[in-house]
């Protein structure tokens, strides 16, 4: 593999048309730029003297301080210098984006679907900051190229990050003192990129055809996989860049590769019987199998979850529906690009998986362990618990319990319902994970969207409920980042809670940091308790760590008949310190929702736009914004 820095000077003249008199000359200024192009238009030319020249293309636009230029005329295509015209006035300082996200002045888009013609090298977004009329633009992405030889037609090419790291998506450009710092903050991540092929195919030959991808700067701990699918369904996966840190402005040239169908055996599964046969092979000890769905599949109640699966199951964008149990029991490998629509009910002893004191259930897996990865999956249907059977319950649409692993780019639309039976045990329920815990191995939960409802009822002990995760106890080794909750979280009015309630738009309780998370759902607590209620737009209760760049625009309604201490905040309900760990910090968070507290009787009430109560420890709030409302009746 060769790394080549593509730093090429490009002079770009921009014409700004103000609202002044037509007799006043138009202002002109020149941008001297080193930059790539967009993933769909501007491309890198043929390499010369160790560098790739960047060439403008017809239709290209740039954004300056949020003002979008007119599209570049065809006469300027294929050149290093171009003149852009603006209908509105543009003044210094200039914050410039090329490849800006639609309608945004502060974000760039690295497309999840790229259309770089095989044989050419595509570029990607860039940015610049200037106070004068001449400045240099900076690269925002890296390029990966792979020359491919062989025979036959390739109908699909996908680049995937094997540890779920974002390689595409929407990235906000961090601003410091009003100017871009160059740091890209992930907003909507994707861990894969699909390459569009002209005519739906790429015909291979003895002469290499180079495919290329514009990717976000990132560290690929497990590397990337470039997966090629032939017209007959055969597959080859080229693994590369393990442990590599991908740097913006660098082309990573992978060695020429001959397409060898099924050089890494992949099972193509197109029917329920084939799926059950595959699961039987896993049960017999073939734990490292690789599979890819070739069609939608409808299952039934005869499904037995795969146990200890360490391989790679690629759904290929297809759906498995009708299962009545988790797809896998303990997942150690990877499940990706799969939609699972299942209805799972736990009401008798034979329905439960776990140990003597705890039970866990999920649609993708009952438990995630070791190097488990769930990437770009969608969960639908329902999980319903009707009987605790004297056990602590851990329920999530992806997995009930995560001791280790990664959940990234997933969407949950399933409903999670738990009815307590006065067993005197806790309930942990989340849109993705019920409970996460590890004392030594990092767990990552990032870039996921929950649209499903979480509902708790019956007679229960302690409650830990969140739109993403119920309870997470993995001090400083858990990443909770860029998760969005749109679903509603409800503690039903008939619920009786003998212990505390810890409820948040993202997490119920945590001993970990949060960044870039957002809640737009409704959090409603109508239960009765004599104990504490910790309720927050992002997290109900957190111990000693940082919460940054988080948004709560949702509603919180507390209208139970009774409660002990109430701690309710737009971001955090209760924050407590620990002298052996970090101090508590809230940075650049915002609350624009509505909190309504209408509890007939309570012992003490603490409520605030950001944190209901800081119980102990040092804490700081920096750059937080409040435009929400708090109503206490």
Task: Say whether both 389 and 492 belong to one domain.
Answer: yes
Report the CATH number that the domain containing residue 501 is assigned in CATH. 2.160.20
- 116 located within any domain: yes
Residue 272 lies in a domain: no
Residue 289 lies in a domain: no
Does residue 364 register a pLDDT over 60?
yes
Sheet holding 54-55, edge to edge: 54-55, 43-44, 121-122
Evaluate whether residue 284 is within a structural domain: no
Q: Indicate if 348 and 477 belong to the same structural domain.
A: yes
Regarding whether 387 and 249 lie in a shared domain, the answer is no
Segment 233-262, tens digit of pLDDT:
778 888 899 999 999 888 898 999 999 887
The pair phi, psi for residue 195, each rounded to 5°, is: -100, 120
Domain span at 16: 2-258
Give the single-character DSSP code of 354.
Answer: B
Residue 492, in any domain of the structure: yes
96, β-bridge pairs: 64, 128
For the segment 177-189, what is each residue's pLDDT rounded down to a tens digit? 889 998 998 877 7
Is residue 602 over pLDDT 80? yes
Please check whether residues 222 and 348 belong to one and the same domain.
no
Q: Over range 125-142, report the average pLDDT.
A: 80
SS3 of 235, please? strand
At residue 111, φ and ψ (nearest 5 deg) are: -65, 140
Q: Tell me, yes or no, whether 293 lies in a domain.
A: no
Answer whether 393's CB lies under 8 Å from 416's CB. Answer: no
The model's pTM is: 0.73
Residue 75 lies inside a defined structural domain of this protein: yes
pLDDT of residue 76: 63
Read off the pLDDT band of 441 (50, 70, 90): low
Look at residue 9 in the predicted model and tell me its pLDDT.
40
What's the pLDDT band for 476 if we cut at 50, 70, 90? low
Answer whether residue 28 shows pLDDT above 80. Answer: no
Q: What percent of the chain stands above pLDDT 70?
A: 88
Position with higher pLDDT, 92 vs 27? 92
Total domains, the chain:
2
Domain boundary among 217, 232, 258: 258
Strand-by-strand arrangement of the 427-430 sheet? 358-361, 392-396, 427-430, 463-466, 501-504, 533-536, 562-569, 601-608
């Amino acid at each position: 593999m060769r790394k080549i820095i593509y730093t090429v000077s490009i002079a770009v003249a921009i014409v700004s048309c103000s609202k002044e008199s037509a007799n006043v000359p138009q202002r002109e200024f020149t941008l001297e730029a080193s930059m790539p192009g967009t993933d769909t238009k501007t491309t890198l030319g043929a390499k010369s003297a160790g560098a790739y020249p960047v060439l403008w293309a017809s239709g290209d636009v740039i954004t300056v301080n949020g003002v979008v230029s007119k599209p570049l005329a065809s006469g300027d295509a294929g050149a290093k210098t171009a003149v852009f015209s603006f209908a509105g006035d543009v003044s210094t300082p200039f914050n410039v984006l090329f490849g800006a996200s639609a309608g945004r002045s502060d974000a760039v888009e690295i497309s999840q679907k790229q259309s770089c013609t095989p044989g050419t090298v595509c570029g990607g977004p860039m940015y610049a900051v200037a106070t004068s009329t001449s400045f240099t633009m900076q690269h925002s992405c890296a390029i990966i190229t792979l020359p491919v030889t062989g025979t036959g037609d390739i109908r699909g090419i996908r680049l995937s990050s094997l540890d779920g790291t974002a390689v595409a998506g929407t990235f906000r450009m961090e601003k410091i003192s009003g100017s871009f710092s160059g740091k890209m903050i992930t907003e909507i991540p994707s861990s894969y990129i699909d390459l569009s092929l002209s005519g739906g195919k790429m015909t291979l030959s003895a002469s290499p055809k180079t495919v290329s991808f514009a990717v976000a700067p990132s560290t690929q701990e497990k590397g990337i996989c470039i997966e090629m699918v032939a017209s007959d369904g055969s597959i080859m996966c080229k693994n590369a860049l393990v442990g590599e840190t991908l740097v913006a402005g660098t082309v990573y040239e992978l060695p020429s590769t001959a397409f060898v169908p099924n050089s890494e055996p992949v099972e193509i599964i197109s029917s329920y019987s084939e799926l059950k046969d595959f699961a039987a092979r896993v049960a017999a000890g073939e734990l490292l199998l690789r599979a890819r769905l070739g069609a939608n599949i409808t299952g039934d109640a005869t499904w037995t979850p795969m146990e200890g699966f360490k391989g790679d199951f690629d759904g290929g964008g297809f759906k498995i529906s009708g299962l009545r149990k988790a797809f896998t029991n303990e997942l150690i490998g990877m499940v990706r690009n799969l939609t699972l629509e299942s209805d799972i009910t736990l009401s008798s002893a034979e329905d439960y998986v776990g140990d003597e004191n705890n039970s866990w259930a999920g649609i993708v897996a009952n438990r995630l362990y070791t190097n488990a990865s769930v990437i770009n999956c969608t969960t639908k249907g329902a999980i319903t618990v009707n009987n605790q059977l004297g056990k602590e319950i851990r329920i999530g649409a992806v997995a009930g319990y995560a001791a280790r692993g990664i959940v990234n780019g997933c969407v949950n639309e399933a409903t999670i319902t738990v009815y307590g039976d006065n067993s005197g045990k806790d309930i942990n329920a989340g849109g993705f994970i019920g409970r996460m815990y590890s004392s030594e191995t990092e767990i990552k939960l990032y870039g996921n969207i929950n649209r499903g409802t979480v509902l708790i009822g019956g007679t229960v002990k302690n409650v830990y409920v969140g739109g993403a995760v119920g309870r997470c106890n993995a001090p400083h080794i858990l990443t909770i980042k860029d998760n969005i909750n749109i679903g509603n979280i409800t503690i039903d009015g008939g619920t009786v809670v003998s212990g505390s309630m810890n409820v948040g738009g993202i997490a119920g309780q945590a001993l970990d940091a949060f960044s870039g998370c957002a809640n737009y759902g409704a959090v409603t607590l109508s239960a009765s308790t004599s104990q504490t209620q910790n309720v927050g737009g992002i997290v109900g209760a957190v111990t000693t760590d940082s919460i940054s760049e988080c948004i709560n625009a949702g509603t919180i309604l507390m209208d139970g008949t009774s409660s002990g201490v109430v701690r309710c905040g737009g971001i955090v309900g209760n924050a407590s310190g620990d002298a052996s760990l970090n101090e508590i910090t809230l940075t650049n968070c915002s609350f624009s929702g509505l909190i309504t507290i209408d509890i007939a009787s309570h012992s003490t009430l603490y409520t605030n736009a950001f944190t209901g109560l800081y119980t102990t420890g040092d804490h700081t709030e920096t750059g937080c914004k409040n435009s929400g409302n708090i109503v206490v009746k």
